[in-house]
């Protein structure tokens, strides 16, 4: 299997297209604010059981069973239909273009956390309904709730999940390398990134043909989540090529250094990436809760996966999304009602049990921790307890995400991919900074 296959490279333009489209978002939405789409509450129509409320998500939010449960209840005032898009990059393009057009979106839309800052910007946020409700103020982890809030207090997103990261590992491959396999002993191996890479170098020598981690992009993302100001400073000025961006350059240089030896060099989410789960392609990967479902679906028959209650460098949060209601919706009241229901404690517990989406709802988090359930697929790992511990290690608002965070992240990941494909690190970095300059 070629690490630089045509299929793998075909995913890269999605990030570039998404970045290009969203770079026009604020300007485009400022023009679109007066467009059609049911923005006035007086234009809203009430719903009956025969009417359908629509929602679009990406990946696996764990909502299939919850929506089925809602629809089966005869006392519910309307039914719900979910559209699931495979990847955020694809959905982001549609979401952005339909917001600009003022039409075409479902009643509820899922928004990835890294992209939320651009939708909170002045002009862009006008295309979303204010979901503020004082009775819900203490429902979610505070930093997650505020991450869906504009500077003037408008709440445009209800938090769904958070993304505290652990490390998933193949205990069977660790045994083959002569490493410890018990999750407590493995956790001690991952105290720092230096430790993590050092064990990786030992592993690839002991187990030829298997790489240490799933992709350069996932490690870059994991390390990036510990950099305070990776792309923009607190005033939203871009700083990727400034002296203050040493944290970003260190992430880049480190991942580039180990590209040949420790990485599979495939693009995350590609067919090659999925194939590596069943081909013993790699031994470890950064693991927020929502990654559990990807592992299970990619390698349903593989035995040996486990989860270490540790993360190199301390803690990190990868992901965590929001549910928002576009002003295009003709059923804004009902959409707000259903979004609130999906993010209540019982439903967030259900989403975790279905897809590993670790809750941002405080009661749900407490419930899961007290129940201490285990997951047989991951060698009976106490997944909720592990993620609760990992959540405690997360530093709120790290990294800082400015209005261009998602766009620059896409360009950064593409720069990492170029190195995997054989470009020199310095040349790819130069291309990256030039592309970022074009966003200014």
Cα dihedral sign, 333-339-345-349:
positive
pTM above 0.75, yes or no: yes
Same domain, 289 and 409: yes
187 pLDDT more than 90: yes
> Would you put residue 59 in left (φ > 0), alpha (ψ -120 to 50) or beta?
left
CB 24 within 8 A of CB 97: no
Checking if the pLDDT of 368 tops 70, the result is yes
CB 129 within 8 A of CB 326: yes
- Statement to judge: residues 270 and 415 lie in one domain: yes
> Is residue 189 assigned to a domain?
yes
Burial call 86-110: b when 16+ CB within 10 Å, e when fewer: eebbebbbbbbbbbbebeebbbbbb
* Per-residue confidence (pLDDT) for residue 139, from 0 to 100: 97
Among left, alpha and beta (phi > 0; psi -120 to 50; other), residue 87 is beta
DSSP assignment string, 141-170: -HHHHHTTB-TTS-B--EE-B--BEEEEEE
Specify the pLDDT at position 43. Answer: 56
The whole-number pLDDT of residue 9 equals 27
CATH number at residue 233: 3.40.190.10
- Which range among 34-38, 61-65, 193-197, 333-337 shows the weakest confidence by mean pLDDT? 34-38
* Per-residue pLDDT, 319: 87
Residues 295 and 415 in one domain: yes
How many domains is the chain partitioned into structurally?
2
pLDDT tens-digit profile of 2-35? 333 322 222 333 344 444 444 444 445 544 444 3
Closest C-alpha to 290, from 230, 336, 353: 353
The answer to whether residues 100 and 139 belong to one domain is: yes
The whole domain housing 48 covers 12-162+319-359
Do 45 and 74 share a structural domain?
Answer: yes
Look at residue 32 in the predicted model and tell me its pLDDT.
46
**Residues 170, 153 within the same domain:** no
Q: Is the pLDDT of residue 388 over 60?
A: yes
Pairing type for strands 305-308 and 321-324 reads: unpaired
More confident residue, 44 or 301: 301
pLDDT at 245: 63
Higher pLDDT pick, 9 / 234? 234
Residue 241 pLDDT grade (very low, low, confident, very high; cuts 50, 70, 90): confident
**Is 101 inside any structural domain?**
yes
* C-alpha span between 7 and 9 (Å, rounded): 6
Asked if residue 384 belongs to a domain, the reply is no
Residue 66 shares a structural domain with residue 125: yes
N residues, the chain: 440
Segment 322-366, tens digit of pLDDT:
999 999 999 999 999 999 999 999 999 999 999 999 999 999 999
The pair of structure tokens assigned to 51 is 């009417």
Q: Token digits for 359?
A: 């809750």
373 pLDDT tier (thresholds 50, 70, 90): confident
Last residue of a domain, one of 359, 380, 413: 359
Closest Cα partner for 381 from 312, 308, 313, 434? 308
């Amino acid at each position: 299997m070629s690490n630089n296959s045509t299929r793998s490279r075909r995913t890269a333009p999605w990030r570039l297209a998404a970045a290009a489209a969203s770079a026009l978002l604020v300007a485009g939405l400022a023009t679109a604010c007066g467009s059609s789409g049911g923005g006035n509450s007086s234009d809203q129509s009430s719903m009956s059981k025969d009417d359908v409320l629509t929602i679009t998500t990406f990946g696996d939010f764990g909502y299939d069973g919850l929506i089925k449960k809602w629809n089966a209840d005869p006392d519910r005032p309307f039914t719900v239909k979910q559209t699931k898009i495979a990847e955020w990059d694809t959905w982001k393009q549609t979401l952005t273009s339909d917001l600009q057009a003022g039409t075409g979106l479902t009643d509820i839309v899922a928004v990835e956390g890294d992209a939320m800052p651009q939708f909170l910007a002045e002009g862009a946020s006008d295309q979303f309904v204010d979901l503020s409700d004082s009775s819900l103020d203490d429902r979610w982890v505070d930093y997650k709730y505020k991450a869906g809030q504009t500077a003037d207090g408008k709440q445009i997103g209800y938090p769904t999940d958070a993304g505290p990261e652990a490390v998933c590992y193949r205990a069977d491959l660790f045994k083959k390398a002569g490493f410890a396999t018990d999750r407590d002993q493995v956790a001690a191996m991952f105290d720092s990134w230096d430790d993590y890479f050092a064990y990786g170098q030992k592993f690839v020598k002991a187990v030829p043909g298997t790489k240490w981690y799933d992709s350069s992009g996932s490690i870059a993302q994991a390390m990036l989540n510990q950099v305070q100001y990776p792309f923009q400073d607190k005033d939203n000025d871009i700083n990727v090529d400034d002296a203050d961006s040493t944290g970003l350059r260190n992430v880049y240089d480190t991942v580039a250094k180990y590209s040949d030896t420790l990485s599979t060099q495939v693009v995350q989410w590609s067919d090659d990436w999925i194939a590596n789960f069943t081909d013993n392609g790699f031994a470890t990967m950064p693991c927020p809760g929502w990654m559990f479902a990807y592992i299970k679906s990619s390698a349903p028959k593989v035995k040996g996966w486990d989860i270490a209650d540790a993360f190199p460098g301390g803690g990190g949060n990868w992901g965590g999304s929001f549910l928002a209601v576009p002003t295009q919706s003709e059923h804004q009241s009902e959409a707000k009602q259903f979004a609130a229901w999906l993010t209540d404690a019982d439903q967030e517990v259900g989403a975790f049990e279905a897809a590993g989406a670790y809750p941002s709802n405080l009661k749900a988090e407490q419930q899961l921790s007290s129940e201490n359930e285990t997951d047989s697929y991951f060698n009976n790992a106490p997944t909720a307890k592990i993620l609760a511990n990992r959540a405690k290690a997360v530093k709120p608002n790290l990294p800082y995400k400015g209005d261009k965070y998602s766009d620059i992240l896409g360009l950064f990941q593409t720069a990492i991919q170029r190195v995997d494909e054989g470009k020199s690190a310095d040349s790819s970095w130069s291309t990256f900074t030039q592309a970022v300059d074009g966003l200014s």
